[in-house]
Structure 1
Amino acid sequence: MLKPNPLKALWKAGKPAFGTWITLCPHPRVVKIFAAAGFDFVIIEMEHTDFSFETVGTLAMLAREAGLTPIVRPPGTMKPHDLTRPLDAGAQGLLLPSIDTAEQMRAIVHATKYYPLGMRPMNLRGPHTDYVTARPAEIIEHVNSNTALVIMIETQRAIDNLDEILQVSGVDAVMIGPDDLSQDLGIPGELQHPKLFEAYERVFEVCHKHDVPFGLSAQNPDMAKKWVEKGARWIPYQNDAAMVFNTASAAVPQLKSIGGRSDELK
């Protein structure tokens, strides 16, 4: 059976989707833990990790089986095979960094969708098709419609071009990358700067205009609530490294206090 993409079903129903990132521990059990926790999707990070394609493929295939939508952030978008290899390995979508122009997005759609939407290299028997036997036209239509393309807005140029970018058929959702956007705006790392929030509002406005799901990461439930109230339907929550660190750093001081330990004894 060809597996549907649960993420797209949530968006079609107008509901927000919540997921997280794998950036630290590329172990299959982490995927099972996130699935058991109830997340809707998992982003497998390649832009800022040393994960191999083999590792990414294993994680993506297990996520599919566990009912999580596997999304891969590739190391870049200039080389088509950086996009199609994770898709062939089982990813049901891509988180595309630094999308600045409609022309760039059209090229990506052409590379990642099968005919008639594009010219993705033809391979109809693999993890991405669940090894099913079906008519080629049925497989092609299913894969094309269930492959999610989420674009990252990380520059002022991208914001200026966003109205045109969202007119490209194939854009499924928008994610703001606040760190790189702050750097491009001349306020690197100042994530509470009014200039950055003004940029957010412009992105939200354009996405609402085109009825395209949008969002950005949340580091706590209150932040997630804030984005949902703005209309966000794409919310990655923390990541594996942050969850481990935040849990440990909250507990350890309490443990040391229970044990009568002072800071000098660290």
Structure 2
Amino acid sequence: MRPSRVLRTIREGKVARVLKLNISDAKIAEIFAAAQPDALWLCMEHTSATWEQVEHQIRAAKLYDVDTLLRVSRGSYSDYIRGYEMDATGLIVPHIMNAEDARKVRDITKFAPLGKRAVDGGNNDAQFTRVGFLDYLKTANEERFACYQIEDPEAMEHLEAIAEMDGVDCLFFGPGDYSVASGIPGEIQHDEIKAVRKRVAEVARKYGKIAATVTNRDLIGEYVDMGYNLLSVGADVIALANYADESMAAFDKALG
């Protein structure tokens, strides 16, 4: 199996860099992968992406030895493991609410003895049966990971119970949804959100788990100092929207 670039970066004591894609075209994935982030964040929770489109984006990223993190829809176990079997390196599972919720996700996404994940071995991740069966099981547990999104106030009282669980790889703080649920929509630098952001990083690192969140370029250093070692720092739709707006502004300025 292809080893994870994100995990390699983090195991070396460095911070993994992520770029997010809302557009499901493989060309966008290839353009962003060529910039050499550690991973591309793909999404099936909030976009119209199909499984086939995601599969092509995963292939495009692998051309540049770039991981893919697929945010899944909450659903049956097939909605989770299918991304892995297409060779996504990691999953992002939204709205983890408590330890029991986390345990169910762990059981779906990890092979025994850590979990109860169903096995096939005839897909992209196992090179269509070319990876030995026992090696496949072992390597999948070691080189594939799931990010548990903490984005609801209800989850905070269960944070340590989630983080201490064997097989939970990463806590991913989602400030947007957390701000909405807290009655301060969009105020992601509000003192309440800052405190939760710091707490998630502290608990993740306390239990040896990856601490992940989103940031902008100006705050990268602050978040790294806080303990985060996986940061999403940009998105295709932001880049395209800014480029289009700036181009039209330049046109209008040139014409007075």
Q: Is 1:186 aligned to residue 183 of structure 2? A: yes
Q: Give, in angstroms, the shift of residue 141 of structure 1.
A: 0.6
Q: Distance in 2 between matches of 1:135 and 1:121?
A: 16
Q: Distance between the aligned counterparts of 1:241 and 1:30, measured in 2?
A: 10
2:253 aligned with 1:257, yes or no? Answer: yes
Q: Structure 1 unaligned segments of length 5 or more: list them.
A: 261-266
Asked if structure 1 preserves the Cα contact closer than 8 Å seen for 2:180 and 2:186, the reply is yes
Q: Is 2:170 aligned against 1:173?
A: yes
Alpha-carbon contact 1:215-1:227 (below 8 Å) kept: no
Mapped pair 1:222 → 2:218: yes
| SS at 2:34 equivalent | helix
Deviation at 1:213, TM superposition (A): 2.1
1:263 aligned partner: none
Contact 2:72 2:91 (C-alpha < 8 Å) held by counterparts: yes
Q: Matches of residues 129-144 of structure 1 in structure 2 within 5 Å?
A: 129-131=126-128, 133-144=130-141
**Residue ranges of structure 2 left out of the alignment (5+ in a row):** none
Please say if residues 26 and 53 of structure 2, whose CA atoms lie closer than 8 Å, have aligned partners that are also in contact. no
The structure with more radius of gyration: 1
Listed one character per residue, the Cα deviations across residues 183-226 of structure 1 (whole Å, up to 9, x for unaligned) are 2222122223212112212222222322322132123x212222
2:49 matched residue in structure 1:
51
The 3 A distance-change label for structure 1 pair 135 and 215 is closer
Judge conservation of contact 2:22–2:47 (CA < 8 Å) in 1: yes
Alpha-carbon offset, residue 18 of structure 1:
0.8
Query: In structure 2, what residue type is equivalent to 1:45?
Result: C
CA contact (8 A) 1:61 1:91 kept: no
Cα gap change, 1:161 to 1:126, in 2 (>3 Å) = same
> How far does the alpha carbon of each residue in 1:83-112 deviate from its partner, in whole angstroms, 9 at most, with x for none?
011111221110110112121111112111
Within 5 Å, which residues of 2 pair with 1:57-136? Answer: 57-76=55-74, 78-131=75-128, 133-136=130-133
Measure how far apart 1:7 and its partner are. 0.7
Could you tell me the percent identity over the aligned residues?
Answer: 26
TM-score with structure 2 length normalisation? Answer: 0.93
The amino acid that maps onto 2:14 is K
Instruction: Please report the RMSD computed on the Cα atoms of aligned residues, expressed in angstroms.
Output: 1.6
2:55 partner SS: helix
